[in-house]
Amino acid sequence: MKKIVVCDPIHEIGFKILQEAEDIELVDASKTPKDELLKIIEDADGVITRSPTPVDEKFLNAVKKLKAVVRAGVGVDNVDIEGASKKGIIVMNVPTANTIAAVELTMCHLTASMRAFPNAVNALKRDKEWNRERWLGNELYGKKLGIIGFGNIGSRVGVRAKAFGMEVIAYDPYINPSKATDLGVKYTTNFDDILACDVITIHTPKNKETIDMITSKEIAKMKDGVRLINCARGGLYNEKDVEEALKSGKIAWLGIDVFNEEPLKDHPFWNIENTSVTPHIGANTIESQEKIARQAAENIIQAVRGISYPNALNLPIKANETPEWAIKYLELAQKMGFLTAQIIDKAISKVKVIAYGDIAKYSNSLLTFSLVGAMREIVGENVNYVNAKFLAEEKGIELEIEEKSNESSAYKNLVKVAIYTDTNVYTISGTMFEDSFRIVEIKGFELEFEPKGNFIFFRNTDVPGVIGEVGLTLARHNINIADFRLGRNQDGEAMAVIVTDGAVSKEVIEELSQLKAAISVKTAEL
């Protein structure tokens, strides 16, 4: 059993997922005082935290076998990532679950900034003042919006702003310009282009490059009457400099959801009329909280099982230089390695990665991640991204990379992992459909399925009646089929990939193996 401690409150769906996992011991410490929490986490394999729990030196010194931390949210300001890395603890966050909530709050502040909406509401409801002339506003239509950071949230803000008829300019040194231009958004590498906009919004992480990204120096270059929005992280705008510009009228309006220090009991912005301030509610929707809890629970389960580490922040890659889509392919490579290793019954002699398309640029990392997955079956939980290649060398496993970035395949990007034994080679190929993982080939059979769930791999001679026999066998054992995919080759063989609602016993596998057409029957779990 793997012990997972939930240190802070999350949506009930997260607890439900953890409770239903048969190999997980769930400890709900969400209401436990923080000084008592250190005793509870001592023997934890994984923890889920939110902002109230600091994963600091004291926390890290208290744990003895912790493998992973999931921060249920985007920000990891309260996590000592370097300290966790030194202890071999993987740190993950849930960066996309609250995307829509944060986008829509940004749009709330954006529209409020043009019409002084909160002030008009308060004047009428609180002060009983009917004064239409006082609330003469501006339209978003035709205005120029500068977006700093064009990732998951910034790009969606851009799409919505264009729907209002705004001209949108994006500044983000870490994206391919086509991500902006394909959406009809102008891309710039000149930050002054952003400072010349009518409205500026920021959607970046908080780091050395982005703290105080807007100060009095940048404000001086802006238009008189500019409007600023920040629903990302506190400290990206220098609060003191923005305060002075609000008072002088240089900044016509500030819409802000995040602050340098939180929670707050008072702040100068609260006493300035031309502001809309909210108490860090960017993720506070019912839908986003449910998604955050679901993803946090699923991710920590995968991590303590050693299957994969979704959205890990301390991987052996340069996060700022590796686009999100490429990181997804790394996770896919690890899943493919882990899946294939489960159906191999001999020692691995070689692991080879073949990459087609732009993903070939990251072949070295693909090999590392696929190794972590493949060697999980060999060395157990001790394998990680740092020692995977060393352990492979120690065990005499040959490593090989083949890049085919200029060669075409049926897919824009494709990763193939080949695992060799002394008598055979097992291949598995995968790609991404939007944000969804897909296996598109396994051991030469072309078929498509999602690498998630309990699997039966049934290889057989391609003769009539096999599907019916397999279905009847599973039905006799009260095993429900969630998905059934079939592939065929030119040698008169077929491969069925069967996803079941639960694990399949050895007895069932033995019975399937006795079917006349059966060549091999293997199981795996992801």
| Catalytic residue list contains 11 | no
Catalytic residue, chosen from 280, 305, 376, 459, is 280
Task: Specify whether 262 is catalytic.
Answer: yes
Query: Could you check whether the bond before residue 54 is cis, i.e. omega within 30 degrees of 0?
Result: no
Q: In sequence order, what are the residues at sequence separation of 6 or more whose Cβ sits closer than 8 angstroms to the Cβ of residue 94?
A: 70, 71, 72, 73, 74, 291, 292, 295, 296, 299, 311
Where does 423-479 show beta strands of DSSP type E?
425-433, 436-442, 445-449, 454-461
Q: Specify whether the CB–CB gap between 114 and 139 falls below 8 A.
A: yes
3-state SS assignment for residue 61: helix
Distance CA 106, CA 229 (A): 7
Write phi, then psi, for 212 (nearest 5 degrees).
55, 40
Question: Strand 414-420 and strand 425-433: pairing?
Answer: antiparallel
Beta strands 414-420 and 350-356: pairing type? antiparallel
Tallying the residues shown for the chain, one arrives at: 526
Residue 233 annotated in active site: yes
Indicate which residue of 50, 156, 233, 376 is catalytic. Answer: 233
262, 393, 398, 510: the catalytic one is 262
* One-letter amino acid of 510: E
- Separation of alpha carbons 378 and 395, rounded Å: 10
Nearest CA-CA partner of 296 in 88, 24, 17, 51: 17
Run of H or E residues at 288:
helix 286-305
Q: Are 357 and 409 within 8 A, CB to CB?
A: yes
Report residue 212 as tokens. 């105080």
Query: Which two tokens mark 398?
Result: 């040959």
Tokens of 53: 């729990």
Catalytic residues: 233, 262, 280
